[in-house]
Amino acid sequence: MAEATRERKLPVDDKVHTWPHLVRMEFLVALFILGALTLWALTVDAPLEEPANPTRTPNPSKAPWYFLGLQEMLVYFDPWNAGVVLPSLIIVGLMVIPYIDINPKGNGYYCFKDRKWEILTFFFGFHILWITMIIIGTFFRGPGWNLFWPWQKWDLHKVVALTNVDLPYLVGFRDYWWSAVFSLVVIGGYFVATIALFYFFVLKVKGKEFIERWGMVRFSITAALVALMLSLPAKMALRLLFNVKYVLVTPWINI
């Protein structure tokens, strides 16, 4: 065994001096960006509208662009969910990423093949959902938060048919209690189905050994987060295809 230890190759020293290699690059990039920013600031003025007037609400009133994804979510969910619960879950979901991702590969280098599903999930949440919602909210929403093409003139009096109905009503329930029971079954069923599908999906692409290594806690957190993330496109589909306003209606909470 002593032989083996002696023969072990020493790690190759692939290090370079921070001064000048890293510092030089930082300096040049900073200089370039500073120059670009100065040019931008010289040519494009920051907006300043008329003085604040609490009695005149502009239509549409838009949040700052980086929050327009959340404002766009308000179309599909009530404010307590789109504005408070889901954003909090986004933050929590981002924070738990290092703990639910136990794939040792791809640590410190670009690699798509070894972490295909991890990257695709992030891509879906960040690019497809977050960025797309911001683009829709910024460029495609006009007065009354109605959809307009960017080149279309904003029609303040655009008539939009209010044909949205609640899901229990759509499928024929008229009684409040039966509607509530049906809604709870649908929502419970959605989570059970999504989590079960997620389980079999992971089983298929990662294998049984992975799920055992992953553990119950990690799986549950990930599955719950995935189900919650997919609830946005699910609700969007219900709204856009079937004009569903709420899935569940109660005196306290609507989903």
Partner 1 sequence: MSPLEKIKNDIVESQVWKAIFRHGYDDTPRNRVMMVTANVFLHLHPAKVRRHAVRMRFTWCMGGLTFLMFLITAITGIYLMFYYRPVAEYAYADMKYLEFDMPFGMLMRNMHRWAAHAMIVFVWLHMFRVFLTGSYKPPREFNWIVGVLLLVMTLLLSFTGYLLPWDQLAIWAVTVGSNMARATPLLGYEGPFADFVGANPIYDARAFLFGGGEIGPHTLLRFYILHCIFIPLVASILMAVHFWRIRRDGFSGPSL
Residues 213-242 that bind partner 1 (CB under 8 A): none
Residue among 35, 66, 117, 220 that touches partner 1 (CB under 8 A): 66
Work out the angle at residue 134's Cα, subtended by the Cα atoms of residues 132 and 140, and round it to the nearest 5 degrees: 90
Query: 150: alpha, beta or left, given left = phi > 0 and alpha = psi -120 to 50?
Result: alpha
**120 counts as binding partner 1 under rule CB under 8 A:** no
Cβ burial, residue 224 (10 Å; 0-12/13-18/19+): middle
**22 counts as binding partner 1 under rule CB under 8 A:** yes
CB of 162 to partner 1, least distance (A): 21
**16 counts as binding partner 1 under rule CB under 8 A:** yes
Residue among 2, 4, 8, 109 that touches partner 1 (CB under 8 A): 109
Cβ burial, residue 27 (10 Å; 0-12/13-18/19+): exposed
CB of 19 to partner 1, least distance (A): 4
For residue 190, what are the CA distances in angstroms to 5, 158, 222?
A: 56, 35, 16
| Segment (H or E) for 229 | helix 216-242
Residue among 56, 113, 157, 174 that touches partner 1 (CB under 8 A): 56
Listed ranges 24-32, 183-191, 192-200, 203-211: which one lies at the site for partner 1 (CB under 8 A): 24-32
Listed ranges 93-101, 165-173, 210-218, 241-249: which one lies at the site for partner 1 (CB under 8 A): 93-101
**104 counts as binding partner 1 under rule CB under 8 A:** yes
| Residue whose tokens read 């497809």 | 128
Complex with partner 1: residue 36 or 192, whichever CB lies closer = 36
